[in-house]
Structure 1
Amino acid sequence: MLDVQDIRGPAIALGGLEGVDRSLTFHYDETNNIRRLLLTPGGLNVRAPQCFVLGGVVHTGPVPQLDFEDLRLAFGLQKSSVELKLEHLGKGDFLSLLDAPRVGRFLDWLSTSGALAHYQVLDPLYWSLVDVVDSIITEDGNVQLMMVAPLLKNDLFTLLRDDIDGTAKMLGRYSYPNVGPARRSAFVAELRDLLKARSGLLPAFNYQMLKGLLEIAAKLDSLAYLEDETPNILIDGFGAFYLHRLALFKNARHILDIEKTIETYLGSLNLRDGSAPLKHFEFVDSRATPWVQLSDALVGLLGKLFSYASHTPLLEIEAAVASLNARQRRALDVLTDILSRSLDDCAGFAHYIVSLEDHRRRTAILGF
C-alpha cells in the first residue's frame, strides 16, 4: 500500500506549489521512452539518450467534446489518417518543426482551445549521474554543500557529458551504480583526474568547488547511493514519473495512453489517499480519445525542444533563436504563450530533472 500523501506532501512543501488540489482533467502521452538505460561492454545501450517527456493537455474545467474529424479538418490531415501524431504535422528537429505550417496551425488551435499544457522533463543521463554528488553530500552531512548541490551536479555533469562514450566506459569499469567499498577510492580518484584534465570546461570558482567535493569524497567511508545497487543499470523504467503526477494531483482525473508496463507498475502499488483507494486514472486507446492524440503532438514537440536544448551549446541556441524566420518566430511565440499561461495557472504543471545549464538553454529559447 502506498499513500500518495507521502509523495505529494514533500513536493508541495519544497516547491511551494498551489492549486494542486483542484478537480482537473489531465490527458497524457510520452516521448523518448527508452525503457531502460544500461551500461554494456560497448558503452550505453542508447548512444545519445534524448529527453524523456511525459505530459499533454490539462483542462481546469469541463473537457470539451472533440472528434477526430475536427482535428483532421483543422490541420489538413489526409482522409486516410486515423489519428493525430506529431509526424503528421511536421518532421525534423525542433527548429524544422517550428517552420512547418501544420505545426503553426496546431499551436494556434491549441492556444484558443481552452486547454493548458502539463509536462515532466527528464534528462536520462543527468538523472543517472547525480547520485555521485548526492552520495557525497549525504554522507558528509554538510548543510552548506546541500545548498549548492544543484551547482555541483551541474558541474560534474558538464565534465561527464563532454565525452559520453568515455563516461560510459569509465562507469562500466566500476559496475556503476554498484561502485561498492572496494572500488570507491579508485572511482573517486578517476573523477578527480578527469576534473583536472577538463578543468577548462568550468569557471575557476566552480572548478575549486567540485575539486573540494571530490577531496571530501576521498575521505569518506561510504557512498550511500553507490553501494548495494544493481550493476550497470542506470535507469530501469519511468514509472516513478507517472506516480509523481498522479500523487501530486490526487483530486484530478488522469487519462493516459495505453502503456502496459506502466499500467502494471501502477496497479501493483495499491495507491491510497489516506485509507481510501485511489482510482483516479485510466488507460485508453488514443484512437478513440482525441485529447490524447493532441497530447501526443504536444509532447512530441516538447521532446524535440528539450532534447535540442540538451544537445546544443548555449551560444549556438542564442544565435539560432536570433535568426528565426517569421513563421518560426510566430510558432515559438505561440508555444511560449501556451506554456507560460499554463505555469501561471499552476507551477506544478511543469517538473524538470535537468542540469542548471539546460535550464539556461531552455530559458534562451522560451524566455523562462
Structure 2
Amino acid sequence: MYEDELNEFARTSAAYHDFTICEEPWSLYYDETENCRSISYGSEGIKDPRPFERDFVLGGIMVRTDEAKTALRDGVRMLPAPNGEVKSKSVLGGSKDFLTVLRRKEVTNFLRLIDRPDAYVHYHSQDNFYYSIVDIVDSLIDLPPNRAAAFFHLQLKDALYGAASPHRISFVEALMRFGYPNIASTEVAPFCEYIAELLYVARDDGGSGPMTQFYTETLRQMVKTAARADELVLLDGNPEGVLVDGFSSHYLTACIMLPRATHCFDNEFRVSKVLSDAKNCTFVDSKNEPLIQLSDVWVGLLSRLFRFLDGQAWNYRPIDPARAPIQLENLRTIKRLIDKADATHRSLLSQVAPLSVVIAREQVLQSLCAGEDTIS
C-alpha cells in the first residue's frame, strides 16, 4: 500500500469503530504468542488443529516518557533471566493453573514494575476459528436481500460461531469438501444447505437463550436465500486451502492507527518484509531490548488470562480473598492495567473474537476482581 492509501484506510477504520486517529508520539514495544504462521488444509484435513485452541496475541508495553523507558529497563534486572534474557516462561512458570501462576512472586514483581503512571499495556488478539469463518457471514450480508442485516453483523457472526464452535475441527473439515475458503458457483447451494442444517440444529438447542435463537434463525434464513445465488463474493479468490494467511495485518494496523508513534518489534522476517515501507517501526533482537522482553511476559500472561476467563465463563468459581490474597491482588492489577489502556486510547486494545466471548471475558474479570459469587 502507498502512504495515502494507508492514511485512507486508517481514517475509514477509525470512523467505522467510532474513534479518532491517535497522533501521540508514544513508544510501543511488542512481542507475540501463539504465532502459528498460517492455518491451512492438508490432503486429509486441517494440518494442525492446535491454533484453534488458543488466541494469537500481539502486544506489549507502551511508554510516554524517557524516564519510563529507563525505569523499566533498570527494573528488568530483578526478574529471572535465563541465558541473559527475561522470557515469559521464566516469569510465569510452567503451571497450567492460572491461579498458581498469579501466586508467583516473579509475576507480582513484573506487575509492580509495569504498573507505573507513564507506562501502559497494549494488545491485539485473534480467535483463529472465528477469523476463519466470519467471511461466511459477510458474504451473506453482501447479497442485496440480506444487506439490512449489516446492522447486527456481530450478533450473526456470534450465532455462526456458537453453532460451529462445539465441533470446530469437524466443521472446518466439512467445509473443505466444498472447496472452502473458495466456494465455486456449483457448490454454493450444497454449501448453504450444510450451513443451514447446522444452524437449524443449533437453534433448537435447549441451552440457547431467545436472542441467540433469534439471530441463529435469522442467519439460517439468510443462508437459505444465499443458496439461490451465483456466488458468495468473499469466498472467492482466496489462497487455496488457507484459512489464516499469517498475522502481519495486526502489525501493519498498529502502525497505521498510531502513525506518529514508534513501534518496536521483535525480529520477525516475514513481518519485516510486509512492513518494509513503513517509516514508524523498527525490528530488533529481543536480547538487546528489555522492553520487548517485558512485552513477551505480558502477552504470555494475557494468553493464559484469556484461557482462564473462558473456563470461568463456563464454570465460575470466585477467588477467596482470605485464601488467595496475592492472586486476587495481581488479577486486580491486570484489570487496572487493561482499563487504563482502554481509557487512554481505543487503538491500544483490540480483539478479533466473537462478541459473546469478549463480553463474557469482561464480565468474568469484573466479577472476580469485585469478589462476587456469581458473574454480574
Which of 65, 70, 75 is residue 65 of structure 1 equivalent to? 70
CA contact (8 A) 1:135 1:225 kept: yes
Cα distance, 1:45 vs. partner?
Answer: 2.2
- RMSD of aligned alpha carbons: 2.2
Partner of 1:43, secondary structure, is coil
Counterpart contact for 1:253–1:281, Cα < 8 Å: yes
Q: For 1:28-43, list aligned pairs within 5 A.
A: 28-43=30-45
What residue in structure 2 maps to residue 175 of structure 1? 179
* Structure 2: gaps of 5 or more residues: 368-376
Residue 354 (str. 1) matches residue 360 (str. 2): no
User: Once the 2 structures are TM-superposed, how far is the Cα of residue 68 of structure 1 from its aligned partner?
Assistant: 6.0
Residues 98 and 5 (structure 1 numbering): CA distance in 2 closer, same or farther, change over 3 Å? same
Give the direction of change, closer, same or farther, for the CA distance of 1:306–1:45 in structure 2 (3 Å limit): farther
Distance between the aligned counterparts of 1:258 and 1:286, measured in 2?
Answer: 7
Structure 2 residue identity aligned to 1:65:
T
What is the letter of the counterpart of residue 305 of structure 1? L
**Pair 141,284 (structure 1): closer, same or farther in 2 beyond 3 Å:** farther
Contact 2:190 2:227 in 1 (8 A): no
> C-alpha distance in 2, partners of 1:38/1:139?
27
2:306 maps to which residue? 306
Change (3 A) 1:104 1:43: farther
Q: Equivalent residues in 2 for 1:18-97 (5 A)?
A: 18=20, 20-49=22-51, 50-62=54-66, 63-65=68-70, 70-73=75-78, 75=79, 77=80, 80-90=82-92, 91-93=94-96, 94-97=98-101
SS of residue matched to 1:65: helix
Query: Partner of 1:222: helix, strand, or coil?
Result: coil
2:328: which partner in 1? 329
AA aligned opposite 1:10 = T
2:190 is matched with 186
Report SS of the residue matched to 2:57: strand
Give me the whole-angstrom Cα distance separating, in 2, the residues matched to 1:357 and 1:67: 36
Residue by residue over 1:27-46, the C-alpha shift from the partner in whole angstroms, topping out at 9 and shown as x without a partner, is 11111101000122443222
Using the alignment, how far apart are the partners of 1:356 and 1:322 within structure 2?
Answer: 29
Within the candidate set 317, 320, 326, 1:319 is matched to: 317
Q: What is the CA-CA distance between 1:309 and the residue it aligns to? A: 4.2
Q: Is contact 1:52–1:121 with CA below 8 Å preserved after alignment?
A: yes
8 A Cα contact 1:41 1:172, kept in partner = no
Q: Cα 1:313–1:365, aligned 2, differ >3 Å: closer, same or farther?
A: closer
1:113 shift after superposition: 6.5
Cα distance in 2 for residues equivalent to 1:252 and 1:141: 43
Q: Contact 1:66–1:290 at 8 Å: present in 2 too?
A: no
TM-score for both structures, normalised by structure 2? 0.87
Tell me, in whole angstroms, the C-alpha distance in 2 between the residues paired with 1:19 and 1:332.
30
- Aligned counterparts of 2:300 and 2:41: Cα–Cα separation in 1: 27
Per the normalisation by structure 1, the TM-score is 0.89
AA aligned to 1:125 is: F
- The aligned residue for residue 362 of structure 2 is 363
1:162 matched to 2:166? The reply is yes
Which stretch shifts more, 36-45 or 2-11?
36-45
Residue 207 (structure 1) shift:
3.1
Instruction: Give, in whole Å, the separation in 2 of the partners of 1:151 and 1:218.
Output: 21
Cα deviation, 1:273-331, whole Å, max 9, x if unaligned, reads xxxxxx11110111111111101100111122224445x36231x32557982222111
- The verdict on how the C-alpha distance between 1:314 and 1:54 changes in structure 2, with shifts beyond 3 A counting, is same
Match of 1:14 in 2: 16
AA in 1 matched with 2:261: A
Equivalent in the alignment of 1:208: 217
Alpha-carbon distance in structure 2 between the residues aligned to 1:10 and 1:220: 29
User: 1:13 corresponds to which letter in structure 2?
Assistant: A
**Counterpart secondary structure, 1:327:** helix
**Number of aligned positions between the proteins:** 354
Q: Which shows bigger deviation, 219-228 or 155-164?
A: 219-228
The one-letter amino acid of 1:219's match is R
Partner Cα separation in structure 2 for residue 307 and residue 42 of structure 1:
29
Counterpart AA for 1:108 = R
| Percent of residue pairs bearing the same amino acid type | 25
Q: What is the CA–CA distance in structure 2 between the aligned matches of 1:123 and 1:48, rounded to whole Å?
A: 12
Residue by residue over 1:114-157, the C-alpha shift from the partner in whole angstroms, topping out at 9 and shown as x without a partner, is: 31011101111101100000001012364430011100100101
